Chains A and B, each alone.
Chain A
Amino acid sequence: SQQGEEDPQALSIQEGENATMNCSYKTSINNLQWYRQNSGRGLVHLILIRSNEREKHSGRLRVTLDTSKKSSSLLITASRAADTASYFCATVQPSNDYKLSFGAGTTVTVRA
Chain B
Amino acid sequence: DAGVIQSPRHEVTEMGQEVTLRCKPISGHNSLFWYRQTMMRGLELLIYFNNNVPIDDSGMPEDRFSAKMPNASFSTLKIQPSEPRDSAVYFCASSSWDFYEQYFGPGTRLTVT
Contact = CB atoms under 8 A, between A and B. Distances in A.
Q: Do A and B come from one complex?
A: yes
Interface of A: 2, 33, 41-45, 48, 88, 92, 96-100, 102-105
A84 B1 CA distance: 26
B103 to A, nearest CB: 7
Interface stretch (B40-48, B65-73, B80-88): B40-48
A25 B99 CA distance: 20
B42 A104 contact: yes
Interface residues of B, number: 22
Contact of B43 (A41, A44, A88): A88
Interface of B: 4, 31, 33, 42-43, 45, 48, 50, 55-56, 91, 93, 95, 99-107
Given A42-B106, A88-B43, A99 B101 contact: no
A94 B4 CA distance: 27
A42 B105 contact: yes
Contacts of B105: 42
A104 B43 CA distance: 8
A33 B104 CA distance: 14
A42 B91 contact: yes
A43 B107 CA distance: 9
A44 B104 contact: yes
A88 to B, nearest CB: 7
